[in-house]
Structure formats: structure tokens, C-alpha cells
Amino acid sequence: MKFKYLLGILLMSVGGFGFLSQPVAAKSQAEPYAYTVKPILPDNQTDSQATFYNLQVQPQQKQTLKLLISNIGTKKIVVHVAVNDSYTSDNGIIGYDHAQVTPYRPQNPQLSSLIVGKRTGKVVLSPKASDIYQFTYQAPAKPIKGLILGGVTTVATAGSSNAEQLSIQNRIRYVNGIVLRSNHDPVTPQVTMSKQVTGKVRTMQKGVGFKLFNSAPINIGSIQLQAHFTLPSGKHKTVKLNNLQMAPSSTWNAFIPMEKLAAGNYTLKLNFTARNHYSKVFIRHFTISKAQRKHLIREQQPKRYNNVWVWIILIGILALVFVGLYYLLIYLKGRNQKSKR
């Protein structure tokens, strides 16, 4: 079954956190299925204008957070809830939808490790009904350096539809962020780059890939990458990517699209800039061999699946059917002969 996630909300980047700044109804195109999610903000909320959890906590503080979930549709819905850690997606956006996240040189515990009891649950709502989902965390024993970033993801099924002979199950997803901090002392990002730069294909597009690491316990927003390439021909090419993000203590599998990727030696000068005037410059030399270029071209082509085994299985099934019919006819013939006697 193929799943299609309908985001019935307008995603906005708030201070580089990558989650919503206001409660919004997550709504599908089908009116019967719609719900809203609203955090009930506690007294230690540091930003009264924000509607995600932005909390200042004390060491070992234990607190229960509440989330108001309302079914505003006409059909019963089941809303699945999960508290997850933040990560940097391949597209350069902070995500909260992975059940397991591996941090890069963490200086703080992950949010998931602070949850008391289960990280996941569900709420079943009749039409026009509301319920409060709650979960408990306990702050680490030592003061938090920078911040701990995670999110509460809610997902509900919103019916199904058919397209091109595929069964598509529509889902509505909503993310509400959680920020834990001990103070508001400024923390400077610490971004480094992998030594290796390689040719890659992503979403049917050729380009170069490398890793960026943020070892600081702080998120980074408004990132701009300016990649200046010296090509094997001696010519120059510049590619810019804007409005990107990195999660605290995370790894980013970055990708710079380059459709014309000839074999030869390259030099990459990468300018990394972000909010609050943070900037770094990285220079890397790499080579694309002829064999690698051919491999990239093959990878870029649509996958063709071999149907031989499908035909073998179908022929085998038909053979079994014919054998079964043959023995059935023999049995019926013998039975008729006995009845005549």
C-alpha cells in the first residue's frame, strides 16, 4: 500500500526550529476528516507569543505536558502521537518524524531519553469530540548546555483513495515542537565538513554529496550554501541553496545538484552562512572517474523491474490448476462408471 501524507498545515520556519508557530487545524481535502492540535502551555513557558513548548527547566525537574486534540470532522478518527528527537533531513530541514535518531557528538541527553514512560500513544475521537493527551519528562541532572530540541508528531488517517490502480491512504500530520533549556546564554554553532565529496544521484538528479556536522547544542536557521566549483575544463560554476536548517548535534547529508558532471578533477569552495552572522568556508578537492560517471548515469535512469519471476509463478499456478482439473475429470469419470455398474 502506498501512503500519501497530506500536510493540512502551512509549515513555517520559526527561529530555525522548523515547526509551527501557531495552532492550526490539520485538515485534509475530505471534510469528514480534520482535527486540531493545541499545546497547553505551562507556567515555565519562556515565550508567551509562541505556541510550541519553549521551556526553561531546572535540573531533574519533572513535568507533565498536555496537548489538546480536537476532532472537527464528521468521522471518527484515531490520532497517533509520538515524542521524537530532532534531526537534519537530507533536504536541509529540521525533522521530527524519526523514531530513532543518532546525534553527532551530543553534549545533552536526547529528549526521547528524558520521557518517563511511553513515548507513543493514541487518542480515539468521535466527531466534534476533544481529548487531552499528556506525557511526562524529567530534565537531566546537570544544567542543559544550549538547548534540547524535539517535537510531538500527531498522525491521523483521513480515508483512502485510488489513483493509477494504487491504493492510497491519506494521512494528516502535525508537528509541535519542544525546546528545553536551562538559560538563554548564547551558543555558537560549530559546523564542520567531511573530507570526502562524491558524485551522487538523488531523486533522479545528479550532483555531489558530502556531510556537514553541527556539534553544538543549538539549532541553526537561515542557512545559505554557496558552492563554487572549479570544473575539469577550468571553467567555474556556482550553485546557491537558501533557507536551510540544521538541528542541534546533528549530521546533514548535503547534496548540491549538478546535471553536467563530467569525469575529472574538481575543486569545491563552500561558503556556509547562517543567521547571527555565522559563517564558515570549506575547500575540498575531489575526482569523478569515468567509471563513477557511468554509474551515476545508470543510477539516474528509471528502475526497470524484471518480470520473469512473475511469469514463472503464473505459469506454475496455471499448471497446478490444469493438473488438478485433469485428476478431477479422471475421478468423476471413474465415479460415473461405478454408478453405471
Give the chain's end-to-end CA distance (angstroms, integer): 57
pLDDT band at 174 (very low <50, low <70, confident <90, very high): very high
Cell of 303: 528502475
**What is the rounded CA–CA span in Å between residue 41 and residue 54?**
9
Cell of 156: 491521523
Kindly report the average pLDDT of the chain as a whole number.
87
User: Using CB atoms within 10 A of its CB, is residue 326 exposed (0-12), middle (13-18) or buried (19+)?
Assistant: exposed
Residue 215 is placed in which grid cell?
556539534
Query: Given a cut of 70, is residue 306 above it in pLDDT?
Result: no
The per-residue pLDDT for 305 is 53
Walk me through the domains of the chain, giving residue ranges and CATH numbers: 2-181 (2.60.40.2550), 191-300 (2.60.40.10)
Q: What is the mean pLDDT of residues 92-103?
A: 97
Q: What percent of the chain has pLDDT over 90?
A: 70
**Residue 107 Cα distances to 84, 139, 248, angstroms:** 18, 14, 10
- Ranges 107-121, 128-142, 220-234, 286-300: which has the least confidence: 286-300
Return the pLDDT at 17. 72
**pLDDT, tens digit, for every residue of 25-74?**
555 444 789 999 999 999 999 998 888 999 999 999 999 999 999 999 99
Q: What is the distance between the alpha carbons of residues 82 and 101, in angstroms, rounded to a whole number?
A: 13
| Residue 115 vs residues 81, 101, 142, 163, 238: alpha-carbon distances, Å | 13, 15, 16, 40, 45
